[in-house]
Structure 1
Amino acid sequence: MEQTKEYIQTWDLDQIFTGGSQSQSLKETISTLTKEMSQVDESIELFNPAKASANDLAGIINQLGPLQKQLRDVFAYIGCLSAQDVNDSDAAVLVAKSGDLSAKMGAVSTKLNQKLKEINDEAWTEMIQSQELKEIAFSLSEARRKAKEMLPIDQEVLINDLAVDGYHAWNQMYETIVGSMFVTVEEEGESKQYSMGQASNMMSNSDRNVRKKTFDLIQQEWQRNAPLFGQSLNHLAGFRLQVYKHRGWDDVLREPLENNRMQKETLDAMWTAIEQNKEPFVAFLSRKAQLLGVEKLSMYDIGAPLGKSETKVSYTQGANRIIEQFQKFSPQMADFAKMAFDNRWIEAEDRAGKRPGGFCTSFPNKKQTRIFMTYSGTESNIATLAHELGHGFHQHVMNDLPIQNQRYAMNVAETASTFAEMILADAAVRQAASKEEKVALLEDKIRRGITFFMNIHARFLFETNFYEERKNGMVPVERLNELMVNAQKEAYCDALDEYDPMFWASKLHFHKTGTPFYNFPYTFGYLFSLGIYAHALEQGNDFEDEYIALLQDTGRMTVEDLAKKHLNVDLTKPDFWEKAIHLCIEDINEFMQLTE
């Protein structure tokens, strides 16, 4: 009976706040939050680092924690409103308001952290070993260490305040422009308008003419707005570089590595292992070109399915498949997914006016999550849905931890999501009904690896080179296109025919101000989850509890310590990374044999 239940494709946000962008309860919450933040600010003002006890600090933390949870709920809710309808002007006003709130909270946290750095080391060590604080010792020590690397308090608060209408506003402008963009495609004699997100879904169409035509239209639309995006990208990068300069930081990777609780040696070991193992992936691209009947693939061919079959999988079928496969690895994961579908935590409807892409956002106060994507029935959509549910599950197992220990970095956030995606991909390959189906599914799985090893490598190379040039002044659009294509050629080892010069404009991640270098953490998460997946296959039934324990530790230690504790591996050495890459190469070998 359960199997026949149809799941609804739109989310229910009323469980969080009622009334959408006109919500009265949201307005009241924002007003209360603002007042309570001022009260915490006063408490911090009175906090004397020279005389403070663990009890005094715990008092402030206990005041601050619930506000941080509530603010996260407000922030996530407004993000959901603006994503579901890019033309909702009231939501745009709320986005600006949430930026102000965030800056206020940033200033409060900065002030507290600056006071923490004034506590002498001996008193500090004693303080964080106390009963009241030892559970959040990692988070507090991290905040104190970062405060020591910052500018004096009044300057950091000023940067925070100016960033609202300076730095972060460039990102908002980018999203507003993208929301108003569309392409007009001729289909069966009539013109159809597609949002940029809907149009990019057409890159998985089996007809090369459709892909090429749509790709060209998409390029034209990005080119039309390139001067605007060139300005916004240059300005947000300029702002970032100025802040770094004043803090005395000379490496643009310093902040992203800090944010990801990761050493430079780990990042280098990962990219080195990838660069030394690209040959099989190049061979795969060459074989795929042969199977599609072209000499060399172009960027718009990478997502093309092999074979004509484009069976659409209904949303409910996709949901049931995800629940069924999660069940085999972790019943708790399956229960979580079922709850998300049952309670309408997912916005998946295929309609115009939604922003492109997918995300999972959390409401720690309500202990809920929401997932956003556009579902059109493809295998790739099911993978995205599983991916976002993986994020949701990660948050779900953290819900009862102190809010300070729920702040896990993006690289480990991408681990749970990629792990969930892998469960689905692997099961699909195993259950393939024919050789053709197996080839198509293996291709889909390998293609995801190519995204992490080549596409994201190109993003990392582009961003590294762009920031280097930006230090000397504005980088014009033509040069941005050139840097983008050069990065793609290097990352794809010259294996493609046509590249995507406008990718710097179309990829939202380059324009995200909250997260600098929004690229390498994905590749880290993918490979780290492959390592965990291999471990899971060895462990069998004992795995679920171990996996949940690992996820729960993601907010309270560095990634190197996490890997050592739970997998007994050293991430600064290439061995772990190579082992994980070889799992992908095994898939390629099987694909090559099947397509000989």
Structure 2
Amino acid sequence: MKESKFNFMWDLDSLFVDGSGSLQFNEHVKHMENKIYELEEMVYLFETPQEKDEAYRVAAIIEYITDIENNLAQANSFISCLLAQNSQDYKASRLQGKTSSINARFESNVKRVQKVLVNTNQQLWEKLVDTEILKEYKFILNDWCEQAKYYLSNKEERLVSDLMVDGYHAWGKVYNSLLSSIRVHVQIDGENKELSVAQAINLRSHPDEGVRKESHNALEDIWTEKEELFASILNHIAGFRVQVNKRRGVKNVLEQPLMDNRMKRETLDAMWRALKQYKKPFANYLKQKAKIFGDNKMESYNFWAPMAQSPYQINYEEAVGFILEHFSQFGTELESFSRHAFDNGWIDAEDRPNKSAVAFCTGFPISEESRVFMTYGGRITDVLTLAHELGHAFHNHAMGPVHAVNKHYPMSIAETASTFSEMIILDAAMDKAESRNEKLFLLDEKLKRSVMNFMNIHARFLFEEKFYKEREKGFVSSSRLNVLMQNALDEGYEGSLDNPSIHSWVWTPHFYLTKSPFYNFPYTFGYLFSLSIYAKAKEKGRDFEKSYLELLRDSGNMSTEDLVMKHLGEDITSKSFWEKGMALCVKDAEDFIKLSSI
């Protein structure tokens, strides 16, 4: 690959010098510990408000909580970066254990504050949140009180938080460490290559079908060999969550994810109803693509395969230039922000061993920076991933003027800016395409994203929903997990995928996220929501960026239903809203079938 003027590796020293051996970071940890002691003293003296004038006490403790939260986020993001760039960084693992303990104490104290506030007389509460000093926090304070209704006693919540450190959250860390340590052997151009999981997964879009198939089979062999271990990890994570839910009186495992996403069940149900109605065209697309590969049914290892030889083998510098060029056509702030990220070492894209398999973006609220992590392989899919993660970083940037309390947007909105940025780049590539093969190639890439959001994500949702129902009754064996995954994939893809990975439950990291259960439907929500926003952007051009920034800045202080109503004037509890986005994607499927049949 041609050498790039842009750094392939990020700069972490500008945050804390010397990585996991940083004395500066150790001082930061000590500072957080002192802050936690002070918070505990404040919380001990904090009592349920009895008068409207006590609003200042509530504001004071909110500010203190926010300050600690920002410091914790800065520390946790740094450690995440250290472990992502080198899964063998054991010093970073020890630091993570330290900050996890601090985080548990912090969360326990925040819950105590929320429990105190929820006991406020309702009439007084309404007056309190409308005071000048608290009105900016009104939505979050009301959200806190809704959350607090599910909490246990202070003693029990503290015990739960303590157990999470070396139990619940620890299992998620074990999963990430195990996945990063696995090596996969694949023959490429007659040479046996030892690859990380991330590198092996990247081969799913390799132009050689033999390489794709061998990589797929090699990974499946590893998952089969280690399925008992992964089943144990997944069961422990889910088991802890099930038991805590029972103690808190949570009757349905979806209650908490919906609350976290600030979304009504009616909204989720409306989205799935629309999606199920429109799956047939995407099944037809998969069937047509299978025929092109000489198969009767789409082989799972061919799903990400490029249509013909990709004209978009693109080096990193060209990818950066392409992204900046087309971001600039949408808006000056998006382009200038992204250029700043590239110029200042915010991105780690190097393809090397020991890296994490998962691309991500993480924010540093104190220094007002982000870091983007991925493994760049020179394909259009990598360019799209880069644009996607930059979208996350731009969302962090957009929240800059917002008060820290109101910066916490839900997962459903978290995928909006990222998907939007990805759409800009994919559409730009399609517009520049000249030949039939180029158009077919890019249309296929666009449809892969629709299939992932409408079929694969739906399958993940179905699997997780059924898994948790069975986990409530006891341990779910690896063989049973395979059956549940097979059934979910068959239903999600409507039987249009051949030899799907029944071990998807192993290598899909979202099932092991201890902070975010059911991190699946937010992707579909974000994808369809982004389609609506993107349609507005194309209609208004560069003038839309101001409205877009306002939408992103509102994403942390209102429900998803209110956010969409305010900025798009749409009712998302109605199936008709979701049908509009689905119809746009159906046209892509029809265009693909028509173009590929010529």
TM (norm. structure 1) is 0.98
1:583 corresponds to which letter in structure 2?
L
Distance 2:457 2:528 in 1: 13
Which residue identity lines up with residue 267 of structure 2 in the other structure? Answer: T
Verify the 8 A CA contact 1:256 1:515 in the aligned structure 2: yes
Question: Which residue is equivalent to 2:48?
Answer: 49
Question: Can you list the C-alpha shifts for 1:109-134, whole angstroms capped at 9, x where unaligned?
Answer: 11111111122112211111111111
Task: Give the aligned partner of residue 351 of structure 2.
Answer: 350
1:26-45 residue CA offsets vs partner (Å, 9 max, x unmatched)? 11111111111110121121
CA deviation after TM superposition for structure 1 residue 310, in Å: 5.7
Once the 2 structures are TM-superposed, how far is the Cα of residue 24 of structure 1 from its aligned partner? 0.5
| Identity among equivalent pairs (%) | 42
Superposition deviation, residue 368 in structure 1: 0.4
Counterpart position of 1:558: 559
Partner of residue 27, structure 1: 26
Asked whether the 8 Å contact 1:110–1:157 carries over to 2, the reply is: no
Deviations 1:340-397 (A, max 9, x none): 0000100100000001020000001110000000001110001000000111001101
The answer to whether the Cα contact below 8 Å between 2:111 and 2:151 also exists between their aligned partners in 1 is no
Deviations 1:443-474 (Å, cap 9, x if unpaired)? 00111110000111110010011111111111
Matches within 5 A, 1:276-355: 276-309=277-310, 311-355=312-356
Instruction: Map 1:487-502; keep pairs closer than 5 Å.
Output: 487-502=488-503
Amino acid corresponding to residue 250 of structure 2 in structure 1: W
8 A Cα contact 1:86 1:176, kept in partner: yes
The answer on 1:73 being equivalent to 2:74 is yes
Q: Which deviations, in whole Å up to 9, do the C-alpha atoms of 1:167-218 show, x marking residues without a partner? A: 1111111111111101111234432100011000001012222111111100
Residues 1-44 of structure 1 show CA distances to partners (whole Å, capped at 9, x for unaligned) of xxx98111100011111110001111111111111111012112
Question: Which secondary structure state, in structure 1, belongs to the residue aligned with residue 584 of structure 2?
Answer: helix
For residues 207 and 296 of structure 2, the distance between their equivalents in structure 1, rounded to whole angstroms, comes to 17
Match in the other structure for 2:38: 39
Query: Structure 2: which amino acid aligns with 1:534?
Result: A
Q: Is the 8 A contact 1:358 1:372 kept in 2?
A: yes
1:182, 1:221 within 8 Å by CA — same for their partners in 2?
Answer: no
CA displacement 1:232-262 (0-9 Å, x = unmatched): 1011111101111111111010010000000
* Aligned mates of 1:269, 1:435 — CA distance in 2: 37
Give the gaps of 5 or more residues in structure 1.
none
**RMSD across aligned C-alpha pairs, in angstroms?**
1.2
Q: How many residues align?
A: 593
Distance in 2 between residues matched to 1:311 and 1:577, nearest whole Å? 32
Is 1:94 the counterpart of 2:99? The answer is no
Secondary structure of the 1:8 match is coil
Structure 2 unaligned runs (5+)? none
**Alignment partner, residue 519 of structure 2:** 518
- Structural mapping, 1:1-400, within 5 Å: 6-51=5-50, 53-309=54-310, 311-400=312-401
2:4 and 2:316 in contact (8 A); partners too? no
Q: Distance in 1 between matches of 2:569 and 2:358?
A: 35
SS at match of 1:161: helix
Counterpart residue type for residue 22 of structure 1: G
Distance, in Å, in 1 between the alignment partners of 2:486 and 2:279 is 18
Which residue of the partner structure matches residue 431 of structure 1?
432
Q: Secondary structure at the match of 1:216?
A: helix
SS at match of 1:274: helix
> Does structure 1 retain, via aligned residues, the 8 Å contact 2:329–2:542?
no
Q: 1: distance between equivalents of 2:585 and 2:358? A: 25
Q: What does the per-residue CA deviation read over 1:127-159, in whole Å, with 9 as the maximum and x for residues that have no partner? A: 111111111111111112211222222211211
Amino acid at match of 1:312: Q
Secondary structure, counterpart of 2:498 in structure 1 = coil
Structure 1 range deviating more: 396-405 or 556-565: 396-405
Question: Are the aligned partners of 2:311 and 2:438 in contact in 1 as well (CA < 8 Å)?
Answer: no
Summarize deviations over 1:39-64 as a string: whole Å, max 9, x none.
01211211221446011111112222
**Is the contact made by 2:310 and 2:441 (CA closer than 8 Å) also made in structure 1?**
no
Give the SS at the match of 2:160.
Answer: helix
- d(CA) in 2 for partners of 1:310 and 1:304? 13
| Distance in 2, Cα, partners of 1:186 & 1:304 | 17
Moved over 4 A (4+): none
The one-letter code of the counterpart of 1:26 is: F
Higher deviation after alignment, 344-353 or 58-67? 58-67
1:225 is paired with a residue whose SS is helix
Contact 1:86-1:179 at 8 Å conserved across structures: yes
**Deviation of 1:400 (Å):** 2.4
Letter matched to residue 186 of structure 1: Q
Question: 2: distance between equivalents of 1:276 and 1:50?
Answer: 51
Contact persistence 1:531–1:576 (CA under 8 A):
no
Provide the C-alpha distance between the structure 1 equivalents of 2:310 and 2:111, rounded to a whole number of angstroms: 55
Q: Map of 1:451-462 to 2, 5 A cutoff? A: 451-462=452-463
Deviations 1:285-341 (A, max 9, x none): 011011112221111111000102364211111111111111111211111110100
Deviation track 1:256-291 (CA, whole Å, cap 9, x = no partner) reads 000000000100000110100011101100110111
Could you tell me which amino acid in structure 2 is paired with residue 442 of structure 1? Answer: L
The separation in 1 between residues aligned to 2:98 and 2:352, in whole angstroms, is 27
Using the alignment, how far apart are the partners of 1:566 and 1:12 within structure 2?
37
